[in-house]
Structures are given as structure tokens and as C-alpha cells.
Amino acid sequence: MDQYQDGGTSWEAPSRRPQSCSSHERPFPCPVDDCHLSWRRKDHLTRHLLQHQEELFTCLVENSNRRFAIKSNMNRHVKEIHEDGSPCQGEKQYICEEAGCGKAFEYASKLRKHEDTHEIKS
């Protein structure tokens, strides 16, 4: 912890790093009846609650029934999946080219995030 002094008073500032939960601890349960999901972070619960409110964003491409709780996720979906006008296929068309990996992803952004894990291991 960082220590600060103001006049004759000193105090310890809380760590800038968030307090970590154990990897299995999920202190934020969904309050909706018959929903038994829970999350490690409050913002994830907040995002999940949007699904219960049914205020979802529907993919704008014809014959697509994909729905998203967050508008930016829908926009990313349209940009990455429908950039050539193709319908939702749910295909994992982005393949990791790292030797021995070959994992496939539906979104280019997910592949890029995955590729970063290879850089960390190197």
C-alpha cells in the first residue's frame, strides 16, 4: 500500500489493484427467480440482468435472429460477421495460426485476444 501524509496525519491508500476473488468464488448472484447464475464481477451481473429485461439489440441483417444485451457487441457482430453481407452462420471462421494450436473463433476480435496469450507464453 502507498503511504500518504497530510500535515501531521498519515494514512495508507488502498491498493490500486482490485482485490481478487478466488477463481471459483462468484459473489454476485442473479436475483431473478429460477436463474442460478452468478459472477465474479458486479458489471458482469449488470450486463446479464439486461437479458432478463428483454431489452436486447437484434442483429439488423435480414434472416438473422442473434440478440445482444450490449449494442456495441451487436455492432461488432454485424461488422465482423456480415461485412460481406452473409447471414449469421455461427461459423468459427477465424483460425489461430500458432504452430500446434488451431483454435477457431467466430470473431476476429476474439482471435486477436487469444493470440495475445501466445505472446505471453513465448
Q: So where are the chain's domains?
A: 91-122
Residue type, 100: G
Q: Decide if pLDDT at 76 tops 80.
A: yes
Per-residue pLDDT tens digits for 25-54? 889 999 998 888 998 999 989 888 887 877
Q: Grid coordinates in use for 111?
A: 482471435
Q: Grid coordinates in use for 28?
A: 454476485
Measured from the Cβ of residue 111, the count of other Cβ atoms closer than 10 Å reads 20
Whether 106 contacts 91, CB under 8 Å:
yes
Residues 53-68, buried b or exposed e (16+ Cβ, 10 A)?
Answer: eeeebebeeeebebeb
Distance of alpha carbon 103 from alpha carbon 111, whole angstroms: 8
Per-residue pLDDT tens digits for 50-69? 878 777 888 888 777 788 88
pTM: 0.42
Three-state DSSP class for residue 80:
helix
